[in-house]
Amino acid sequence: MNKVSSPVFRLSIITLALSTSFAHAENLQPAETAELNEIKVTGTAVPTRVTRNQLDRETSTDLKQVMKDQIGMDVGGGNGVAQFYSIRGVGEDKINLEVDNTSQSTKIFHHQSRFQLDPALVKSINVEKGTGAASAGLGAVGGTIRVTTVDAKDLLTDGKPFGFKLGAGLSSNKGSTGNAAVYGYQNGFDALFAGNFLNNRDYKDGNGNVNLGSRLKQHSYLAKLGYDFNDDHGIRLTYRQEYQKGTRTDKAEFQNVD
Q: What SS3 state is found at 58?
A: coil
Rounded CA separation 145/122 (Å)? 13
The answer as to whether 25 is a domain residue is no
pLDDT tens digits for range 153-197: 888 888 889 999 888 888 887 888 888 999 999 988 999 999 988
Owning domain of residue 145: 49-257
The answer as to whether 19 is a domain residue is no
The answer as to whether 12 is a domain residue is no
Identify the residue with better confidence: 162 or 144: 162
Cβ within 8 Å of residue 133, ≥6 positions away: 144
The answer as to whether 13 is a domain residue is no
Q: How many domains does the chain have?
A: 1
pLDDT tens digits for range 221-241: 999 999 999 888 989 898 988
Rounded CA separation 50/147 (Å)? 9
125 and 49 in contact (C-beta within 8 Å)?
yes
The answer as to whether 72 is a domain residue is yes
CA angle, 226 then 229 then 235, to 5°: 35
AA identity, residue 11: L
By DSSP bridging, strand 143-149 and strand 95-99 are: parallel
The answer as to whether 79 is a domain residue is yes
CA proximity to 89, closest of 145, 146, 143, 147: 143
The CATH number assigned to the domain holding 229 equals 2.170.130.10
98 and 147 in contact (C-beta within 8 Å)?
yes
The answer as to whether 232 is a domain residue is yes
Rounded CA separation 250/144 (Å)? 26
- Across-strand partners of 126? 49, 146
- Across-strand partners of 222? 194, 240
pLDDT category of residue 20 using cuts at 50, 70 and 90: very low
82: phi then psi, degrees, rounded to nearest 5: -75, -10
pLDDT at 151 over 70: yes
The answer as to whether 104 is a domain residue is yes
